[in-house]
Amino acid sequence: MKRYGSITGLRPEKAAYYKKLHAACWPGVQRQITECNIQNYSIFLKEIDGKLFLFSYFEYTGSDFDADMKKMAADPETQNWWKETDPCQKPLPDAMQKGEIWSMAEEVFHQD
């Protein structure tokens, strides 16, 4: 199992909508998350220096993360979900350069 921590910005004017969406995530999206070997997935929100940021934590139990992420990206319902969530988020520069939403963070400590 591998743990992933990642970060993105959240547009303040979209914060309420983002929270509303995630309080009742679509069942097809949740199914896809499970089928792509992601578990124990949390997203946290925090204001830093007057800007909003989202931090996500999840555990990946599969053997080919890139392949599973491609599988997720090919799922029509997930694509529709991202049409709702992408405009809420404001990627950090390193993610934006790669056309991605979330920037990976570095794990510096873990204790079971």
Residues at the interface with a copy of itself (CB under 8 A):
3, 5, 7, 18-19, 22-23, 25, 30, 33-34, 39-46, 48-49, 51, 53-55, 57, 92, 103, 105-112
In the bound complex, what is the minimum distance in angstroms from residue 92's beta carbon to a copy of itself? 6
Return the bridge partners of 7, or none: 55, 103
Q: CB nearer to a copy of itself: give 39 or 79.
A: 39
φ, ψ of residue 89 to 5 degrees: the values are -100, 155
Q: CB nearer to a copy of itself: give 48 or 97.
A: 48
Please tell me the distance from the alpha carbon of residue 52 to that of residue 60, in angstroms, as a whole number: 26
What does the block give as tokens for 21? 């969406």
Q: CB nearer to a copy of itself: give 23 or 99.
A: 23
8 A C-beta contact, residue 40 and residue 66: no
In the bound complex, what is the minimum distance in angstroms from residue 64's beta carbon to a copy of itself? 21
CB-CB neighbours of 11 under 10 Å: 14
In the bound complex, what is the minimum distance in angstroms from residue 19's beta carbon to a copy of itself? 5
**Strand locations in 61-101, DSSP E?**
89-90
